[in-house]
């Protein structure tokens, strides 16, 4: 079974106009979308398309209707990324007692020979909107680097005129996701998740529940608590306006995919 659990830590650090940092422990599921049917009923603590202590529903992702693998294939084709139908692995938070919020879900899309074809970055905001950035991978890279112009409102404390720089260590024994966000003045924010793989089992799920109680609710509460701290520090607020489409994806221009040479 390729599906697994990753325990780790999320860290954010804002550099301007006031310094502000946070860090908290989390766990994610890595779900091979071809294994969803086999996972359903295999672990009493994990419900697939049904309730459970932990659960996963495809409608929480993608367009909310299409099967996720078909949806991912369509996004890759839309972006001109060659893909022959290999496995697609989704790194995300599961529902916990029926509740979930995923600031970022990452799809690792492979060719049939196992090489990485592309990565989908599915960004969610607290207004119930989501936007997906589709970017190619060369197939033989252990660490994948991407860049994309920001196209989607995420935080009221961040301007829209920004560029994301992604550095991804594809999931094996460890997984790593690093995002640098630049504005016209340079680096503004760093965010990262690093995690260690555990075999998916009832025991691992129990440990995750005991070690991270009500984690998905805490993610949302944490977002609002940190927002209050930023307001208290006098960080400017950028007002949200509804997206043209609540669920959207965008083709990233080739010129935007080039990562500046100084990125490590």
pLDDT over 70 at 213, yes or no: yes
Query: Residue 251: what pLDDT?
Result: 56
Give the whole-angstrom CA distance, residue 178 versus residue 104.
Answer: 12
pLDDT over 80 at 260, yes or no: no
**249 band by pLDDT with thresholds 50, 70 and 90:** confident
What DSSP assignment string belongs to 127-141? TS-EEEEEEE--SS-
CA geometry: angle 6, 9, 10, nearest 5 deg: 115
pLDDT over 90 at 212, yes or no: no
Mapped onto helix, strand or coil, the DSSP state of residue 33 is helix
Task: Enumerate the domain spans of the chain.
Answer: 4-248
pTM as predicted: 0.92
Give the whole-angstrom CA distance, residue 44 versus residue 226.
Answer: 35
> In whole numbers, what is the pLDDT of the chain averaged over residues?
90
Query: Residue 262: what pLDDT?
Result: 43
Give the whole-angstrom CA distance, residue 30 versus residue 15.
Answer: 31
pLDDT over 90 at 259, yes or no: no
Average pLDDT for residues 147-172, to the nearest whole number? 93
**254 band by pLDDT with thresholds 50, 70 and 90:** very low
Give the whole-angstrom CA distance, residue 173 versus residue 236.
Answer: 40
**Residue 216: which residues within 8 A CB-CB, separation 6 or more?**
93, 94, 95, 96, 99, 100, 101
Query: Residue 264: what pLDDT?
Result: 40
**252 band by pLDDT with thresholds 50, 70 and 90:** low
The residue to which tokens 């984690």 are assigned: 215
Query: Residue 88: what pLDDT?
Result: 98
Give the whole-angstrom CA distance, residue 49 versus residue 58.
Answer: 7
């Amino acid at each position: 079974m390729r599906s697994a659990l990753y325990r780790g830590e999320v860290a954010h650090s804002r550099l301007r106009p006031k310094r502000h940092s946070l860090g908290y422990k989390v766990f994610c599921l890595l779900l091979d979308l071809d294994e969803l049917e086999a996972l359903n009923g295999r672990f009493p603590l994990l419900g697939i398309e049904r309730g459970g202590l932990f659960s996963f529903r495809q409608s929480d992702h993608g367009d909310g209707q299409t099967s996720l693998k078909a949806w991912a294939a369509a996004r890759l084709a839309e972006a001109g990324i060659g893909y022959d139908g290999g496995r697609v692995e989704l790194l995300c938070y599961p529902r916990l007692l029926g509740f979930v919020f995923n600031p970022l879900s990452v799809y690792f899309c492979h060719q049939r020979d196992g090489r990485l074809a592309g990565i989908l970055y599915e960004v969610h905001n607290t207004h119930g909107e989501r936007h997906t950035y589709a970017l190619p991978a060369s197939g033989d890279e252990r660490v994948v680097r991407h860049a994309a112009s920001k196209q989607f409102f995420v935080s009221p404390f961040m301007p829209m005129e920004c560029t994301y720089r992604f550095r991804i260590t594809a999931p094996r024994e460890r997984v790593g996701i690093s995002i640098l966000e630049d504005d016209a003045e340079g680096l503004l924010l760093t965010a990262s998740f690093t995690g260690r793989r555990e075999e998916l089992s009832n025991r691992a799920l129990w440990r995750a529940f005991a070690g991270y109680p009500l984690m998905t609710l805490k993610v949302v509460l944490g977002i609002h608590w940190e927002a209050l701290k930023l307001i208290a520090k006098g960080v400017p607020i950028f007002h949200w306006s509804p997206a043209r489409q609540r669920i959207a994806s965008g083709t990233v221009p080739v010129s935007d995919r080039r990562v500046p040479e100084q990125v490590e």
